[in-house]
Every structure is written in structure tokens, then in C-alpha cells.
Amino acid sequence: MILEVDDLTVELPLGYRRKVHAVSGVSFSLRQNETLGLVGESGCGKSTLGKTIVGLVKPSRGSVTIAGRSITTLKGRELRLARRNAQLVFQDPLSSLNPRRTILNSLIEPMAVWNTLEPDQRAPRAMELLEEVGLDPSLIKGRFPSQLSGGQCQRVSIARALCVSPTLLICDEPVSALDVSIQAQILNLLHDIREQRKLAMLFISHDLSVVHNISDKIAVMYMGRLCETGQTAAVYKQPLHPYTSLLLDSIPGTQLDEPQSGESGESEASGPDPATTTQPLEPPSDVSSAINPPSGCRYHPRCPYADATCESEQPPMRELRSGHFVGCHHPLA
């Protein structure tokens, strides 16, 4: 296992004894050469989870282990070494690069910080990395981020993340700011890099079509908790959690993916009620938030199947099918 996250809880203090329950009791693991897609709405805690894994945010409980080293208990030099294994790629490529530094210098810096190569070998290594992410090194190295397009900047960010040869790559919405035509290039690139370097990748995104394309496994997050995890194909084909089902129904343009004749052989995602697909489109109530999460199952105020149990008891994660876990009292199967 490259990454093991166990019962991770992050509570961020707001003052006046109030706190944001950003991440609550999240556990999962990630193997070499495997991509986990983490999906959820904005504010559900997916970015906080990513930051906690690399040690940018202190968890209040639980543990994170990267390649056998515990991020949560180690200190000092040991911690630094452990963190080197995990690198981040952020959403906005332009603002994640130093605007006053040439691309070459931006790439050399992490190597200098980690003291990985002899100083005179760093520049050649940076050139190799630029080549690896599909840029022309001689053309790009002396430029500044403002002289590059968004797609090129994102390629540079990926190259920078690879500078210290990490075993885990965390991508936080890496293609959300890019146009569709560029997005496809970056997704293909990330896939190739993961294959070649046998990386473990955590891919955080709100875009369900993108996550479907790049992930082996999916984890759906709602208000700080994981509500469903499983193999990508299985989760998309037959979601077990009502929230996952709602998310999948909300993907725009899916009706075009279905046969036009209307003979929907697959849409019998047999739930408790056959009228699952026509969930009322109501604005979700504003009362529940991560500051004051609902009791029991956190999804119950929005859930069409909620009953008294859902209100009082938090559903444990159960393995309903092999490798397919769901945290719901009334799963859709």
C-alpha cells in the first residue's frame, strides 16, 4: 500500500467553540499504479482531505501513512522525508507557479530544497521532465508562467510535482480551469505518467465524467464523510447510495449517452421506489452545514428515503458487493 488513511478526522476551529467538521472518520487505501477519484460537491471536504494527506493541515484524529511512514506521528527530519513521497498538483496552474521565476528555476527549486541531485545535474533533469510532460524544453525553460497558456502551465506543475520522484500524486481539480480540448490532453498525460511511473494517484474533482475517465476506484464524499466507495465501473453502473445516484442523474448531457429509442435496458437502478430518477429538484435546505452537521446520516435532510433510523444513527460503511462499500441504511439494491 502506498497510502493508508485510517479514521481521519479534521475539525477546523472557528472560535467561540464552533468548528468546521471538514473531514469525519475517513478511511481508505491506495495501491501502487492505482487511481482513486474523490468526488463531491464544493465544501464537502475533498480538498481538505488532500491537504491533510500531505500534512498541510493537522488532523484532529486518525492517521495517514504514506509508503510505510506515518505523516501524522512523525516529526522533524523524518516527517520531511515522509512528505516528499506525496506531491500535489493544484487547480489553478497560473497561480501555483511563481510569476517572477522562469520555468526552469521553478523546476530546479524542489530539487534544491530536497537536495536530490548534484547541482549541475538539476537543470538537465528539469529538461528531461519538461520533455516527459510533452513540452519543448528549449522553448519553455526560459519563459515565465504569464507567457504560457493554462494547459502549458498545468504541464509545468505536473513536471514540478515529479521533480522529487514521488510515489503518490495528489491532483486537486487539475483540469477544472482548462478548456475541453486542453483538458483531454492533460488527462491523457496524467494517465501516461501514472502508468510509466507506477504512481498511486488521488484525483480530486467535482466533474463526474472526468473522474469516470481517469479513476480505477471512486470515493464519493458528502459533508466530510465517505458515503460510497468501489470500482469505477461498478459505482457508475449501479450506485448504492442515494446521493451518488443523485450526482449521477445530475450529470448534464447523459441523456445523449443513452439509446435514443427510449428502450432503457439499464436504467432500472432498482431502488426502493421505481420513481427514483424523478427526484424532486428542490433547493437543498441551508440549515445543515459542515459547522453544524445533521445527526445520524449526514445526507438524511436531502434524502428521499430517509426515516427515523437515518436521523438518529450514523450508517456504518458496509461491503454490499465485493469491493463496493456504502454507508447507508437503505442502499439502492
Partner 1 sequence: MKARAATSFGEDATSSAPLLRVRSLTTSYVGERGSLRVVDDVSFSLEGGKVLSVVGESGSGKTALCRSIMRLFPTSKVHVDGQVIFDDQQLLELDDLEMSELWGTRIAMVFQDPMSSLNPVMRVGNQVAEGPRRRLHMARSAAKERAISALKSAGIADAKQRYSRYPHELSGGLRQRVAIAIAIANGPKLILADEPTTGLDVTVQAQILSLVNQLSHSAGIAVIMVTHDLAVAASASDDIAVMYAGRVVEIGPAREVIGHPRMRYTEALLLASPRLYQTPHARLNAIAGRPPDPLDLGPGCAFSPRCPHADSRCFEERPELTASSEDQRHLYACWHPASAALDEFAKLAVK
> In the complex, which residues of this chain contact partner 1 (CB under 8 A)?
41-42, 149, 151, 179-185, 187-188, 191, 206-210, 212-216, 232-233, 236, 246-247, 249-260, 281-284, 286
User: Of 138 and 264, which has the nearer Cβ to partner 1?
Assistant: 264
Q: Report the SS3 class of residue 225.
A: strand
Of 43, 55, 120, 42, nearest to 81 by C-alpha is: 55
The nearest distance, CB 246 to partner 1, in angstroms, is 6
The nearest distance, CB 274 to partner 1, in angstroms, is 20
How many other C-beta atoms can be found within 10 angstroms of the C-beta atom of residue 245?
Answer: 20
Q: Which residues of 112-145 are buried (b: 16+ CB within 10 A; e: fewer)?
A: eeeeebeeeebbebbbebbebbbbebeebbeeeb
CA atoms within 13 A on the CB side of 155: 28
The nearest distance, CB 224 to partner 1, in angstroms, is 16
Q: Report the SS3 class of residue 306.
A: coil
CA angle, corner 237, sides to 236 and 241, nearest 5? Answer: 65
User: Of 112 and 233, which has the nearer Cβ to partner 1?
Assistant: 233
Rounded Cα gap, residues 76 and 65, in angstroms: 16
The nearest distance, CB 219 to partner 1, in angstroms, is 14
Sign, CA dihedral 135-144-201-220, equals negative
User: Of 73 and 292, which has the nearer Cβ to partner 1?
Assistant: 292
The nearest distance, CB 97 to partner 1, in angstroms, is 18
User: Of 110 and 239, which has the nearer Cβ to partner 1?
Assistant: 239
The nearest distance, CB 281 to partner 1, in angstroms, is 5
- The three state secondary structure string of 176-193 is CCCCHHHHHHHHHHHHHH
The nearest distance, CB 6 to partner 1, in angstroms, is 26
The nearest distance, CB 47 to partner 1, in angstroms, is 14
Cβ contact 93:159 at 8 Å = no
User: Of 6 and 207, which has the nearer Cβ to partner 1?
Assistant: 207
User: Of 67 and 182, which has the nearer Cβ to partner 1?
Assistant: 182
Provide the edge-to-edge strand list for the sheet that holds 61-66: 18-30, 3-15, 61-66, 69-70
User: Of 255 and 322, which has the nearer Cβ to partner 1?
Assistant: 255
CA angle, corner 146, sides to 140 and 151, nearest 5? Answer: 65
User: Of 63 and 213, which has the nearer Cβ to partner 1?
Assistant: 213
Residue 80 identity: R
Could you give the angle at which helices 103-114 and 119-132 cross, rounded to 10 degrees? 120
